[in-house]
Amino acid sequence: MTARHESWNGGEPRAGTVRALVRFSGELSIKARRTRSRFQKQLARNLRDGFAAEGVEARLRLEWSRFYIEGADRGFLGPLRRTFGVSSCSVLAGECEAELDAIVTVGESLFADAVRGRRYAVRARRSGSHGFSSSDIHQRLGAALNPGATVDLDDPDVTVFVEVRDGRAFFYDDSVRGASGLPLGVQGHALALISGGFDSPVAAWMALRRGIRLDYVFCNLGGRAYERMVVEVTKILADRWSYGTRPRLHVLEFGPVVEAMRARAKPAYLQVVLKRMMYRAAAEIAGRTGADALVTGESVGQVSSQTLRNLRAIENASSLPVLRPLLGFHKEEILERAREIGTHDLSARVREYCDLVPHRPVTASTPAAAEAQEAAVGFEELNGAISGATTCDLRELRPESMVGASLYVTAVPESAEIIDTRPAQAFESWHWPGAVRRDLMELERDFADLDRTATYVLCCAEGVRTAYLAEAMQRAGYEAYSFLGGAPRMRRLLRPPASGSPDRNAF
């Protein structure tokens, strides 16, 4: 469908369309009139961008305290749920003129069947000048619905909502929660450090919810497979939660920085020095892009580098304020929020590359001690990583272009050996003819036993988990690839030609 951005002027709905009432976050109502007007206009822009991004046909009507949406179907509910500044939305069961007799007649026709034999309540609210009150609606419509039903104001099975605004009355029986917060873009621009794990995407989401437009910086410690995973996590934030903006991802190769740290800094300080280097790099990128702050996923006490003293030792490496939305969160809260956002399952597959000190890391560094270790490392490698940073528009990025073709394949090379790393049940349900099943962790540990003269295609459920292993095997001298799209996409290759045998090179 094609997004339509024009507003409509009320009146009777067009045949075959769906209308909805959109409520703003309560924070907007307490703003000064000029500020509120600016916020609501930004919210409208973000909604329209969301509809366009999702291919939804929908039109907006803007009012001071509500938005109204008309669409071909309920497709607009997805973007609405993920647009910050929206408190809730109700799909309208019907509407009529704001006259008491009409409200009773239409309300009865809409809900009589729904409440029959059940407990129900009528809730009405009214705005504007009318010859009746909300109580009049409760009494008249409640009485009309009463035959065959029972009024229960405390625990109803069905609640009939009536909202009267000036010349129209709107009916609905349920509401869909929105993300609330402030419209994205009304609180300036920040740069979020993203690692792909659970914490940093949740921290970024919480900053977005406060109206802060975000770009992202990723300090890559694990190669292209790791980069691919981080990009996929960050794209969820960009594609589903950043309507109205064009987030950019800055990728810095931090391998040489870590090598320099290992050679020149005391081992116990590696975590603290790494964080300081990341802060410096992010602050430099932020300065170039006009960002006003950094956003991180740090939570006090979660790991050794996030003790209060170590955070103090790290803080002054940034020339900009560092925002930590997760400061008081515990891990279970972060995981639950990651599930709500949609990043949890991808983040669960991201390996931990930042753990540089397996034994006895410093937990109570001072700024002076951290600076001394940082100075011992120097900044040559860091400056090289900054100058070599690459940038992409996350919303424009497509999976096939996230990494080079040397790591992923979309066809099965002739004579390649297929290694399927999915669980036994999934493998037995379907697998590529001739494939062998290996446990992913076992294969990671033992792949050196494989024949180096063979070509390997690694397969998993999503096409992500085997990517880092394929890269590790390539570095060890193997010709190994991860199948892009995993088993589902591989299965689609098995469309036999006329001969009846699978075409291993077709796609």
Instruction: Tell me how far CA of residue 397 lies from CA of 33, 236, 249, 465, in angstroms.
Output: 39, 12, 10, 20
Burial class (CB in 10 A: 0-12, 13-18, 19+), 406: exposed
| HEC string for 208-231 | HHCCCEEEEEEEECCHHHHHHHHH
At residue 336, the pLDDT reads 97
How would residue 225 be classed by pLDDT, with cut points 50, 70 and 90? low
Beta-bridge mates of residue 219: 252
- State yes or no: pLDDT of 2 exceeds 60: no
- Predicted confidence at residue 353, as pLDDT, reads 66
Q: Using alpha carbons, select from 410, 433, 434 the residue that is nearest to residue 490.
A: 410
Q: Collapse the DSSP code of 343 into the 3-class scheme (helix H, G, I; strand E, B; otherwise coil) and give the result.
A: coil
> Binning pLDDT at 50, 70 and 90, where does residue 501 land?
very low
Cα distance between residue 138 and residue 495, in whole Å: 62
pLDDT over 50 (residue 504): no
Residue positions annotated with a catalytic role: 460
Identify the pLDDT of residue 42.
Answer: 97
Examine the pLDDT at 223 and tell me if it is beyond 90.
no
Angstrom distance (rounded) from CA 217 to CA 402: 15
Range 439-443 contact pairs with CB under 8 angstroms and sequence separation of 24 or more: 440/465, 440/466, 440/469, 443/419, 443/469
Asked if 195 contacts 297 with a C-beta cutoff of 8 angstroms, the reply is yes
Contact between 409 and 481 (Cβ < 8 Å):
yes
**Sheet containing strand 168-172, strands side by side:** 94-97, 168-172, 158-165, 119-127, 150-151
d(Cα 425, Cα 42) in Å, to the nearest integer? 49
Question: What Å distances lie between residue 96 and 123, 211, 390, 449, CA to CA?
Answer: 17, 36, 56, 75
Mean pLDDT, the chain, as a whole number?
Answer: 88
Query: In which band, very low, low, confident or very high, does the pLDDT at 478 lie, cut at 50, 70 and 90?
Result: confident
> Which of the pair, 311 or 8, is modelled with greater confidence?
311
Say which residue, 354 or 212, is predicted with more confidence: 212
pLDDT the model gives residue 12: 55
Digit-coded pLDDT (tens) for 72-115: 899 899 999 999 999 999 999 999 999 999 999 999 999 999 99
Cβ neighbours of residue 441 closer than 8 Å, sequence gap 6 or more: none
Residue 331's pLDDT band, with cuts at 50, 70 and 90, is: very high
The Cα–Cα gap between 489 and 404 comes to: 19
437 DSSP β-pair partners:
420
Nearest to 326 by CA among 205, 179, 194: 205
Distance, in Å, from the CA atom of 157 to the CA atom of 120, rounded to the nearest integer, reads 6
Instruction: Please name the residues in contact with 174: beta carbons below 8 A apart, sequence gap of 6 or more.
Output: 90, 91
What pLDDT was estimated at residue 5?
A: 36
Closest CA to 317 of 260, 379, 263: 379
pLDDT tens string 20-67: 999 999 999 899 999 999 999 999 999 999 999 999 989 998 888 889
Place of tokens 């409440």: 115
Cα dihedral 293, 297, 300, 305, rounded to 10, equals -90
Confidence of residue 354 (pLDDT cuts 50, 70, 90): low
Cα 404 to its chain centre, rounded Å, is 24
SS3 string, 411-480, reads: CCCCCCEEEECCCHHHHHHCCCCCCEECCHHHHHHHHHHCCCCCEEEEECCCCCCCHHHHHHHHHCCCEE
* Residue 119 pLDDT grade (very low, low, confident, very high; cuts 50, 70, 90): very high
pLDDT tens, position by position, 138-188: 999 999 998 878 899 999 999 999 999 888 999 999 999 999 999 999 999
- Closest by CA to 61, choosing from 10, 96, 16, is 10
Over residues 265-273, the mean pLDDT reads 93
pLDDT at 367 over 90: yes
**Amino acid identity of 277?**
M
Tens-place pLDDT, residues 394-450 = 999 875 555 444 678 888 888 899 999 999 999 999 999 999 999 998 998 899 999
- As beta bridge partners, residue 215 has 191
State percent of the chain over pLDDT 70: 91
Token pair in block for residue 294: 């950094």
Here the tokens at position 8 are 């409509």
* Cα 120 from chain centroid (whole Å): 37
Residue with tokens 């190994």: 480
